[in-house]
Structure 1
Amino acid sequence: TAVKAAFTNEALQAAVDQVRAGATQPLAVLQGLLTLNGEQLSQKAFCTRFDVTDGAIRTAVQKGWLKKVAVEVYRDPYATSDIKTTKALQLNDEQQVAVDQITQAVDQAATTTFLLEGVTGSGKTEVYLQSMAAALAQGKTALMLVPEISLTPQMVQRVKGRFGKAVAVLHSGLSSGEKYDEWRRIQRGEAQVVVGARSAVFAPLKNLGLIVMDEEHESTYKQDDAPRYHARQVALWRSRYHNCPVVLGSATPSLETRARAEKGVYQRLLLADRVNRRPLPKVSIIDMKKEMQQHAESNFSAPLLVALQDRLERHEQSVLMLNRRGYSSFVLCRDCGFVLKCPNCDISLTLHMDTHTMKCHYCGHEEAIPRNCPNCHSRQIRYYGTGTEKVEEELQDLLPDANIIRMDNDTTRKKGAHAKLLAQFGSGEADILIGTQMIAKGLDFPNVTLVGVLNADTALGLPDFRASERTFQLLTQVSGRAGRAEKSGHVYIQTFNPDHYAIRFAQHHDYEGFFKYEMQMRHRGGYPPYYFTVQITASDLDEGVAAKRMYQLLQWLRPRLAPSTILLGPTPRPIARVNRRYYYQIVIKYKQEPNLAQTLTTLLHETQAQQRQGLQIGIDVEPLHFM
């Protein structure tokens, strides 16, 4: 609520003359209104500035001296944040070349797509910021995408530090009201820069001058349920619509993006060195098979423990990552081998110690932790697998003097928890940060000199042709968190597959070597980027209905597509049942298929009626997961 004079200054002065001399509050109100000279001010600010009470305001309203005005106030999610203003940094030669090329494309309103390939710590963020500043200098707007909410706090601080109130933020960690207000600021042209996760690609920016996509390889840019879209494809569409360049940045670009740069479809900009000329951290591979033979079963190898103790004594910080993808904490009976599974899905239930329950991560089913085996009634039912809670407990026993912060889905569920935990670690309140993939990328803490990957190869066993690429990217990203400032860094990777090519290339920070090797593997198997893919799924509560419909679809598709197009399936999905529904899939692989768009559109329209009977058909163009 704001207050505003209801009279002219002459009428207010006349009212002052009529008020008795001892009436301090009414006089203060009138003097305040005269000072405002017709302007409005929030009631709270008015009372503070002119030292008047709310009661005096009410009296002034009754006397008709002032009126209250409803004022729209935006909810600012970063209002209490202490964000320091920053200035543009001096660029090195590689960064300057990149900024010049991007700025030239902004000037010419060219729809060029740049691949900014830079090792971790090479100063990609500064290139983004100075390129965005060039777009703003021309009166244009800029959009910056980050892959997930955990990266947003640090990136928001950097962008807000440079562009201040011109920045709006959009991600799932905001309340509905905050999202609504940020969206309106953008729509009204009050914010010229937008930073956000996947859905921010739809931000209603006008006169767009530059789109930046940080960590472009991340799978979180793809939405797996309807509407199934990839933020990169939407960004490229907006680039053509608004006539502006796109910058795709990564230390480990996706094979599809890097292959397009190789063919000249994208323009490649390379940052080969760290900005401070610091070397990339030394990476040691620890063979856990040998560790298991020499020591009792533990999440921590002897070399990693010695290194952690050494960092504690030197008052340096460590980051430990637990690779949870494809790896669950489950309950198994030692007598009969029974694994507790979800009654609705074909996957084991995950143990959650915070709620003391077993949970399904697909459908949300929850039940108590069993004391006896439901199959053979034995009491030999035990917890297997490694969760972040279990790792934290073990580490606290091994290093009782260490202050540990844990970052996972359980500890970051509350609003603002990501930023709070990272701020605590950044200010030195903890010695060790333990987390899942969310801590692998984007974080920049100068005192971190040790990074440990506890189980590097859990994703390698997944039935997915991208398993090696994801493992290499994750290991390279998390390795880049070490030794980013003056102190040198060291990385320990614990693995049962020390000779796997993804782990060996990650050890030497050799993206180009990995790219060439993996492209050979993809060519041999006929996988993307040599082929485009479309996944069609049918799901029903009755397995027979889903299977039958997929066979019918196969017969319908064959004559409509070119003979060179490959149709794989129908097969049950690797996780065949989710939330009591059975899933079958067909995968279409093609190099050129002129009839595909029309065929898929026809398929969508013709299957609409069957949806009412319970059968669901899904179409996913270029899926990132076939699970």
Structure 2
Amino acid sequence: MIAQVIVDIAAKQTDRIFEYHIPSELPDVKVGSRVVVPFGPRKLQGFVVGISESSNFSGKLRDLLLVVDEMPPLTPELVELSAELAREVFSYRITILKAMLPRVMRANYRKILSPISEKAKKMPYFQGNPIDLNRINDIKEISFVHKLLKSQDAKIEYIVENKAKTKTENQYILTKSKEEYLTIYNSLRHNATNQKRLLMDIIQNYTSYPKMQNILENDAQINAATLANAVNKNWLQKKKIEVYRNPLAGFKDNKNISKNIKLNDEQKIALKQINSSIKNKESKTYLLEGITGSGKTEVYLHAISQALENRRNALMLVPEISLTPQMVSQVKERFGQEVAVLHSGLSEGELYDEWRRIRRGETRVVVGARSAVFAPLKNIGLIVIDEEHESSYKQDSDPRYHARDVALWRSKYNNCPLVLGSATPSLGSRARAQKGVYTLLKLTKRANQKKLPQVKLIDLKHVEFAGGQFDISTDLFNAIKKRLAKNEQTILMLNRRGFANFMLCRECGFVLKCPNCDLSLTMHKDTNQMQCHYCGYSEKIPQLCPNCQSNKIRFLGTGTQKVQEELEELLPEAKILRMDVDTTRRKGSYKKILDKFGNHEADILLGTQMIAKGLDFPNVTLVGVINADTGLWLPDYNASEKTFELLTQVAGRAGRADKTGEVLIQTYNPEHYAIQLAQSQNYEQFYNYEMHVRHEGDYPPYFYTVLISIASKNEQNAARQAFKIKRKLQNNLHANAIILGPTPSAISRLKNQYYYQILVKYKKEENLNNLLHQIQDSAQEIKKYGLNVYIDNEPERIM
């Protein structure tokens, strides 16, 4: 038998299938298996993407060396999907196959120096641990290694390591009858307290064994030394048992909860259509458009129940880790141990264990962020994408896939419905629903029959401010005080983290910039650092101007840290929680902050856009937006859409239970249509207006787009290559295709690379896909000159 293998080298020359003979000693090779193969002088990891009985290769095929896993990590569905994605997202197939696995399962390669001659084998140099060439940096040692290789006293061996480790715990098994243990107990001396405690536990709980060590230590108070002694005396036998790390340990199960929830008429109509597609195994796409608080989540959960009743599985995506705790809590309450969760907030071990539970078929419902769309779940009966408009569903690095496109493919493959849910659907999705490509389902009322909160705009050009920072108007300040007096809670959003946006010298006008990027450094007061939010560079906050040594420096702009400091001065009695990238770096921090706020251990939750969506706190009656303009003037065609979505979503966090909600939006642009329509939460009017703007500008969804970015440390080289690519496009595309650029990116330098961009807008170009693949392949040739070319199909951001 012949294995068709994609090897672990992301390059044009290796982006094809290599054939290997399957030796009789390796009978478990299947499609989706990870294998180790010889490749030139090296050993590489690869993925089996096909198996055949014969080969067209005239020479002798080399043998597969090793099968890495007992069960193939990738299902045949995912292997097929990788081929489709490689054609559409302009990534090499191996990059996509690796993206489908948890980080810990990606291969780790080591170059080991091994002795060949008898003389070398006796050298003290080779008597210790294996010599890892990747770790040698001493010049003398490097020279010595070269001599050994030249004289053929040593050779280089390539080792493929699997970093994925299973967790094991000790289990203790009984070796004797109950009567024998009773005899031993009676023969022990009086002061053998620990041994007697163990034997008494065995006698009283004989049928409960085998027992895990942690249970014996915690429940029976038996220490490890006593257990080791019992094993030595053959009272017990110790066995290592594989156990799963459990990221859902803090979540409750309550499977009866669904019986207490009654759906309203609109929810029932939507659910009926989705359930029909589940029962009929129909790959239909539904756009569930429901105002904030309309009970979209309840429709999802009832539909998941229907899929499970039909003996099929369900996959549910949420856009951010911050949303995962609340969504996981609801799904876990409903479906208990059948739920697995996948997102980057888990430890590598937890992610590996959850992924294996899914692959082994031990779980039926998967909840996760973007990469969970690749979950190795079989027999999918329903796919849900919550907050489908979110840009975080698009991967902004290689491979640049959109989770919605992958979900559409898996929906067709599994003959199951896909539900896209949002209060503010993306214009592309809504346009498809208008054309009948998707089926539109609407929820126009809040599930609890309450009205949407009243939204008031505060024009920052004509207000008084509380405090001296010009961040919080007196109107917003008084509204917060009113909630504190009533023991109600407030959510405040500012979509900018840090303390100040930049440092300015009033003497010479110097602005402190990142040495690697064309950006000013942001002040972070809590860590005493100036930070770049793009490359991670940081330095201490200066006391004097680095340019002229003047002490007349000021830190201008605002961020969540500064607002928190101002609130603490203005409202010393208020308990404030801040939720942004800086406060949520540690594992479990999202859940901890949200649990605290949910338990009313804080009065105010202040955060960036991560608090705008999906959160449901019944005691929140006020939502305040510190500055609605932060994303309004970005050089992106969809800046107005993103602003409208964000404001509408955050406004929906207020008044979700019995208490009436109020929303105050502070802005310098109250006349802008995105802000005006967010005030009335009028999605229909916004959709019609924005579609007109897009039509006039020839932008999506009226045109398809491809963004080609060229990066180099030398700006002239980047520009020269960009113009070469433009000429190639002009010579091969139709006249009605629009080619914009090349032009420097909005942020022209990032991580010491200058970026130039070309944007292609088109309606129908049959030759474009092949042309872009040619550009991708050519990029491999020019990489050695320090030039990088990135192709992004349907980019979320053009900056």
Q: TM-score range by the shorter chain?
A: over 0.9
Matched, 1:43 2:213: yes
Matched, 1:404 2:576: yes
Aligned-pair distance for 1:78? 2.4
Match of 2:452 among 262, 280, 288: 280
In the other structure, the counterpart of 1:270 is 442
In the other structure, the counterpart of 1:302 is 474
> Does the Cα contact within 8 Å between 2:466 and 2:473 map onto a contact in 1?
no
In the other structure, the counterpart of 2:400 is 228
Match of 2:787 among 579, 592, 615: 615
Deviates more, 1:294-303 or 1:104-113: 294-303
Matched, 1:108 2:273: no
Match of 1:565 among 737, 748, 757: 737
Secondary structure of residue in 1 paired with 2:455: strand
CA distance in 1, matches of 2:180, 2:549: 92
> Does the Cα contact within 8 Å between 2:705 and 2:794 map onto a contact in 1?
yes
Match of 1:474 among 646, 657, 664: 646
Distance 1:294 1:64, change over 3 A: closer
Aligned-pair distance for 1:73? 1.1
Matched, 1:333 2:505: yes
Distance 1:131 1:81, change over 3 A: closer
Equivalence map 1:429-578=2 (5 Å): 429-578=601-750
Matched, 1:140 2:312: yes
CA distance in 1, matches of 2:797, 2:403: 16
Aligned-pair distance for 1:36? 4.7
Match of 1:70 among 234, 237, 240: 240
Matched, 1:5 2:177: no
> Does the Cα contact within 8 Å between 2:465 and 2:472 map onto a contact in 1?
no
CA distance in 2, matches of 1:191, 1:572: 48
Aligned-pair distance for 1:240? 1.2
Equivalence map 1:122-141=2 (5 Å): 122-141=294-313
> Does the Cα contact within 8 Å between 2:340 and 2:363 map onto a contact in 1?
yes
Deviates more, 1:348-357 or 1:61-70: 61-70
Residue type at the aligned position of 2:794: E
Distance 1:505 1:33, change over 3 A: same
> Does the Cα contact within 8 Å between 2:174 and 2:235 map onto a contact in 1?
yes
> Does the Cα contact within 8 Å between 1:167 and 1:194 map onto a contact in 2?
yes
Equivalence map 1:199-238=2 (5 Å): 199-238=371-410
> Does the Cα contact within 8 Å between 2:182 and 2:203 map onto a contact in 1?
no
Residue type at the aligned position of 2:212: S
> Does the Cα contact within 8 Å between 1:29 and 1:52 map onto a contact in 2?
no
Give identity over the alignment, percent: 55
In the other structure, the counterpart of 2:37 is none
CA distance in 2, matches of 1:57, 1:537: 63
Aligned-pair distance for 1:56? 5.0
Residue type at the aligned position of 1:142: A
Secondary structure of residue in 2 paired with 1:430: coil
In the other structure, the counterpart of 2:494 is 322
> Does the Cα contact within 8 Å between 1:326 and 1:462 map onto a contact in 2?
no
Deviates more, 1:440-449 or 1:608-617: 608-617
Residue type at the aligned position of 1:371: Q
Deviates more, 1:555-564 or 1:65-74: 555-564
CA distance in 1, matches of 2:533, 2:222: 56
Match of 2:414 among 242, 251, 254: 242
- Alignment deviations for residues 225-251 of structure 1 (CA, whole Å, 9 cap, x no partner): 111111111111111111111100000
CA distance in 2, matches of 1:58, 1:295: 66
Equivalence map 1:76-87=2 (5 Å): 76-82=246-252, 87=257
Secondary structure of residue in 1 paired with 2:581: coil
Residue type at the aligned position of 1:69: K
Residue type at the aligned position of 2:174: A
- Alignment deviations for residues 278-325 of structure 1 (CA, whole Å, 9 cap, x no partner): 000000011111116999662111211111111111111111111229
- Alignment deviations for residues 430-475 of structure 1 (CA, whole Å, 9 cap, x no partner): 1111111111111111111011101001211111111100110000
In the other structure, the counterpart of 2:329 is 157
Matched, 1:346 2:518: yes
CA distance in 1, matches of 2:694, 2:199: 77
Matched, 1:291 2:460: no
Equivalence map 1:358-377=2 (5 Å): 358-377=530-549
CA distance in 2, matches of 1:243, 1:148: 27
Distance 1:79 1:338, change over 3 A: same
Secondary structure of residue in 2 paired with 1:70: strand
Aligned-pair distance for 1:403? 1.3
TM, length-normalised to structure 2: 0.75
Distance 1:517 1:130, change over 3 A: same
In the other structure, the counterpart of 2:202 is 32
- Alignment deviations for residues 158-179 of structure 1 (CA, whole Å, 9 cap, x no partner): 0000001111111111110110
CA distance in 1, matches of 2:500, 2:321: 23
Secondary structure of residue in 2 paired with 1:319: strand
In the other structure, the counterpart of 2:363 is 191
Aligned-pair distance for 1:5? 2.8
Distance 1:55 1:538, change over 3 A: closer
Distance 1:574 1:289, change over 3 A: same
Distance 1:460 1:5, change over 3 A: same
Residue type at the aligned position of 2:668: F
CA distance in 1, matches of 2:633, 2:205: 73
> Does the Cα contact within 8 Å between 2:741 and 2:757 map onto a contact in 1?
yes
In the other structure, the counterpart of 1:390 is 562
Secondary structure of residue in 2 paired with 1:605: helix
CA distance in 2, matches of 1:455, 1:317: 20
> Does the Cα contact within 8 Å between 1:26 and 1:60 map onto a contact in 2?
no
- Alignment deviations for residues 211-233 of structure 1 (CA, whole Å, 9 cap, x no partner): 11000001111111111111111
Residue type at the aligned position of 1:284: K
Matched, 1:91 2:263: yes
> Does the Cα contact within 8 Å between 2:253 and 2:335 map onto a contact in 1?
no
Considering Cα pairs closer than 8 Å and 6+ residues apart, tell me whether 1 or 2 has the greater RCO. Answer: 1
CA distance in 1, matches of 2:500, 2:219: 59
- Alignment deviations for residues 529-571 of structure 1 (CA, whole Å, 9 cap, x no partner): 0000000111111111110011111111222222221111111
In the other structure, the counterpart of 2:424 is 252
> Does the Cα contact within 8 Å between 1:533 and 1:590 map onto a contact in 2?
yes
> Does the Cα contact within 8 Å between 1:457 and 1:497 map onto a contact in 2?
yes
Distance 1:230 1:18, change over 3 A: closer
Structure 2 residues not aligned, in runs of 5+: 1-169
TM, length-normalised to structure 1: 0.95
> Does the Cα contact within 8 Å between 1:326 and 1:459 map onto a contact in 2?
no
The CA RMSD over aligned residues, in Å, is 2.3
Residue type at the aligned position of 1:206: K
Deviates more, 1:536-545 or 1:19-28: 19-28
Aligned-pair distance for 1:15? 6.8
> Does the Cα contact within 8 Å between 1:321 and 1:453 map onto a contact in 2?
yes
Matched, 1:61 2:236: no
CA distance in 1, matches of 2:559, 2:185: 73
CA distance in 2, matches of 1:326, 1:254: 29
Equivalence map 1:580-619=2 (5 Å): 580-619=752-791
Aligned-pair distance for 1:45? 2.9
CA distance in 1, matches of 2:657, 2:460: 30
Secondary structure of residue in 1 paired with 2:449: coil
Distance 1:293 1:318, change over 3 A: closer
CA distance in 1, matches of 2:280, 2:171: 46
CA distance in 2, matches of 1:296, 1:417: 31
Residue type at the aligned position of 1:2: Q
